Amino acid sequence: ARARPDAADGEVTVAGLRLSDLAERFGTPLYVLDEGEFRDRCRAYRRALPQAHVAYAGKAFLSRAVAAWVREEGLHLDVCSLGELEVAAAAGFPAERMILHGNAKTPDELRAALRFGVGRIVLDNVAEVARLAALVPAHDRQAVLIRVIPGVEAGAHKAIRTGTADQKFGLSIEHGAAEDAIARVLDQPRLELVGLHCHLGSQITSVRPFLAALPRMAALAARVRDRHGVVLPELDLGGGHGIAYRSGEHALDPAEFADDVMRHLVRAYAAVGLPGPQLIVEPGRALIGPAGVAVYRVLVVKRTGDRTFVAVDGGMNDNPRPALYGARPELRLIGRAGARTTRTVTVVGRFCEAGDILAPDVELPDDVRPGDLLAAPAAGAYQMAMASTYNMVGRPPVVAVRDGRARVIVRRETTADLLARDVPLGD
Ligand code: LLP
């Protein structure tokens, strides 16, 4: 979020609202989403890539409000489950602008995608080709892309690297798996192969890996032309655009990405005698990540061994990224002016495991104490989307702010919500 810190009183405002007021009003832990910032990011991508289709990857965070913003901003939407598809549909998102992903789509997901009229389905394996074709009604055709593994290493952590063969997504170019699947799709009259897809990984901060993938994708498109006489009109380069989680970190700039990719795309396809394809990109984190901020309240400050632990009222339930990927959010004291001198503390959550560490080494004012508020910027992506209810603790609310106004777009989960799906044994 475009947080505006005011050093004098330690206050931070987002869209004209003080985070400490929002914490008071909605309770903590709290996720604040800056609608204006999200929309600006959508617009920056569309401006940078006017000829491309920009699809927001809903897995980063999706709700009906977010789907409506994406619809209004004219973006496409990447969905990867029946749930995401239904949330988007409930927000009136046009199905023809949706792309369905998944390495193991369920029969229900495929059927729903066809029923809703999803624009593109990205096939990830050979079994899916016949499975999908069998569900398409006679005289109908479903547009599909084939997800291939381009053989390019990129991404911030092993768990989010998908550009090389040693992971579950896509079909290898090298061993002919991709070409075999392509031949099978072209054999199915109810499927229309419109292009190739690849996704290198996530939190990639350099454009270089994307450029490295282009000649490989072009070479495959040329082989498809040579073998089948088919020119594939589209290329989906996936998402993975990295953001700055901490001050001073580098983010992938959409304008720079667009310039370099468009230039290299045309060149790589021209080199194999093909026209530049219609480009699709699928950023998730880069659109919503910087628009979010998490707010926690300090419950305990305690010294154990050589460390000072600052325990807050959230943790791995609302943000599993530190535990999963070694992410280190930047936390700062807000809502009051702290001491001028600082100390290094370990900020931990309230959940029952020692691995519930939000940040192992944060500089906080010396006088940090229970009742203080801590804010973590760049919290909009893959936090609430991956939140759990471990320890029977309900998930925090998401409050959207715009022009001095705050609206709850996902309410706090209560124990009553958790009990609602718990079935007692009865007598
Ligand atoms: N397209 C496809 C096919 C994807 O698999 C993904 C992300 C995206 C687009 C969007 O990627 P983004 O632009 O957001 O990096 N939970 C992890 C990230 C997992 C990404 C999964 N796929 C994290 O918190 O870092």
Does the pLDDT at position 385 exceed 90?
A: yes
Instruction: State percent of the chain over pLDDT 70.
Output: 99
Half-sphere exposure of residue 317, counting CA atoms within 13 Å on the CB side? 23
Instruction: Compute the distance from residue 303 Cα to the ligand 1 centre, in Å.
Output: 37
Query: What pLDDT, on the 0 to 100 scale, is given for residue 6?
Result: 56
Question: Six-digit token pair at 37?
Answer: 């910032």
Backbone angles phi, psi at 310, to 5 degrees: -110, 110
- Ligand 1 contact, 202 CB (< 6 A): yes
Q: Which residues have C-beta within 8 Å of that of residue 218, sequence separation ≥ 6? A: 268, 269, 271, 272, 274
Nearest CA to ligand 1 atom 6: 239
Instruction: Compute, in angstroms, the gap from residue 14 CA to the centroid of ligand 1.
Output: 26
Q: What is the pLDDT of residue 4?
A: 65
Query: Token pair of 270, please?
Result: 């021209």
pTM, whole model, 2 decimals?
0.97
Domain segments of the chain as ranges: 4-32+290-420, 35-287
- Rounded Cα–Cα distance for residues 209 and 162 (Å): 12
Closest CA to 201 of 151, 149, 155, 165: 155
For ligand 1, the distance from its centroid to the CA atom of residue 240, given in whole angstroms, is 6
Closest Cα to residue 45, out of 285, 244, 208?
285
Residue with tokens 């040579």: 226
pLDDT at 175: 84
Complex ipTM more than 0.90, yes or no: yes
What's the pLDDT tens digit per position in 302-323? 999 999 999 999 999 999 999 9
Q: Which atom of ligand 1 approaches the CA of 284 most closely?
A: 14
333-355 per-position pLDDT tens digit: 999 999 999 999 999 999 999 99
- Residues 124 and 195: their CA atoms lie apart, in Å, by 13
- Hey, is 384 helix, strand or coil? helix
In CATH, what number does 4-32+290-420 get?
A: 2.40.37.10
282 marked ligand binding residue: yes
In the predicted model, what is the mean pLDDT of residues 411-427? 95
pLDDT digit string (tens) for 265-307?
Answer: 999 999 999 999 999 999 999 999 999 999 999 999 999 999 9
How far is Cα 101 from Cα 76, in angstroms, rounded to an integer?
13
Collapsing DSSP to helix, strand or coil, 286 comes out as: helix
| Active site (annotated) includes residue 42 | no
Cβ distance 2 to 263 under 8 Å? no
Beta strands in 259-341 (DSSP E): 278-281, 292-304, 307-312, 332-334
For residue 317 and ligand 1, the question of a CB distance below 6 A is answered with no
DSSP string covering 212-236, please?
HHHHHHHHHHHHHHHHH-----EEE
Give the pLDDT of residue 5: 61
Q: Which CATH number fits domain 35-287: 3.40.50.300, 3.20.20.10, 3.90.110.10, 3.20.20.140?
A: 3.20.20.10
